Amino acid sequence: YPAKENLQAEFGETDIFIYPGYYFRLIDGLITNFHLPESTLLMLVSALMGREEMLAVYQEAIALDYRFFSFGDAMLLLPQGLPPESDKTSEDK
């Protein structure tokens, strides 16, 4: 992948499936809503933040009566750091 400062807008499709363990190279955070349990979107945010962290976030959101799904509350997700080199898949190195 190119360095962030060398990115160019393009149009197209991808066939990647992002799930926990995926190594993000081009984003620092994500603004999103609260997703359905066991959904691919919940897998995406868990890949960014970690499964245990997202479980804790969702437990607090439920306790505070946050609204879920498309017209619910939003959250800003900012991971605390990148995974160690050993956590990257060979495809991502």
Parse the chain into domains and list their residue ranges. 15-82
49-79 pLDDT, tens digit per residue, is 999 999 999 999 999 999 988 888 999 999 9
pLDDT at 37: 85
Q: Are 29 and 14 in contact (CB under 8 A)?
A: no
- In one-letter notation, the amino acid at residue 33 is N
Q: Residue 37 has which token pair?
A: 């349990």
Contacts of 42 (CB under 8 A, 6+ apart): 35, 36, 54
User: pTM to 2 decimals?
Assistant: 0.71
Task: Tell me the C-alpha distance between 58 and 56, whole Å.
Answer: 5
Q: Distance between CA atoms of 12 and 74, rounded to whole angstroms?
A: 27
